Amino acid sequence: MSLRLYELRRDRLAAQRSAELLDHKREALLREILRREHRRAALQVRVDNMYNAARLRLDVARVEMGFDAVERAALAQSAHFILTERPASVMGVRVARIEAKYEPFRAPYGPAATTESLDAAGVAFVELLEPLIDLAQETTAIRKLRSAMRKTTKIFNALRKVVLPRIDREIRATVDGIEEEERDEFTRREVWRQPHA
């Protein structure tokens, strides 16, 4: 019985340490989520402002050139960019670090066929790429970190509310069993001594 008690106490200590580690991980994940949420909010404002400015320039070009001429110029523009993903880890959660390589805006059409406002719109949309990629990266990272937080919390709660109380009940039952055996043994010794006395 005492070997079982030793095993239970060892299991309880391991479960307690695991719960403490998970609690620290939850705190670290929460700090990281809050930090990234703050960054994501700032990026969202920046992207919104840049997008609205780019749309305004595009609208000016449409007024100056006409909708069809702007569409033809846009179709002539080829996309030159490369996205590469570099794996990174935050508290064991895999988050992607996206790097983009792209060329600055160069109009493939002749200056006589378009206006300066169309070129300005092209430059504005290319400049929007970097903060847009950063925003997507932060949004994806936050989603993954929140998922990890939910899983970590679920395991933490299982340890605290199910595993540790079960081990505590088994320890109490084992201690009660040992005490009962000791009382029985004491009673047997006393009974054995009386007739011989």
pLDDT at 197: 52
Domain that holds residue 48: 2-196
Residues 105-145: tens digit of each pLDDT: 777 666 656 678 888 888 898 899 899 999 999 999 999 99
Determine the average pLDDT of the residues in 74-97.
Answer: 80
Tell me what pLDDT residue 106 has.
74
What lies within 8 Å, CB to CB, of 111 at 6+ separation is none
pLDDT grade for 149, boundaries at 50, 70 and 90: very high
Q: How many domains in the chain?
A: 1
The percent of residues above 90 in pLDDT, for the chain, comes to: 49
Highest mean pLDDT among 66-80, 86-100, 111-125, 162-176: 162-176
- The whole-number pLDDT of residue 110 equals 62
Residue of higher predicted confidence among 69 and 141: 141
CATH number of the domain at 165, please.
1.10.287.3240
What does pTM read for this prediction?
Answer: 0.76
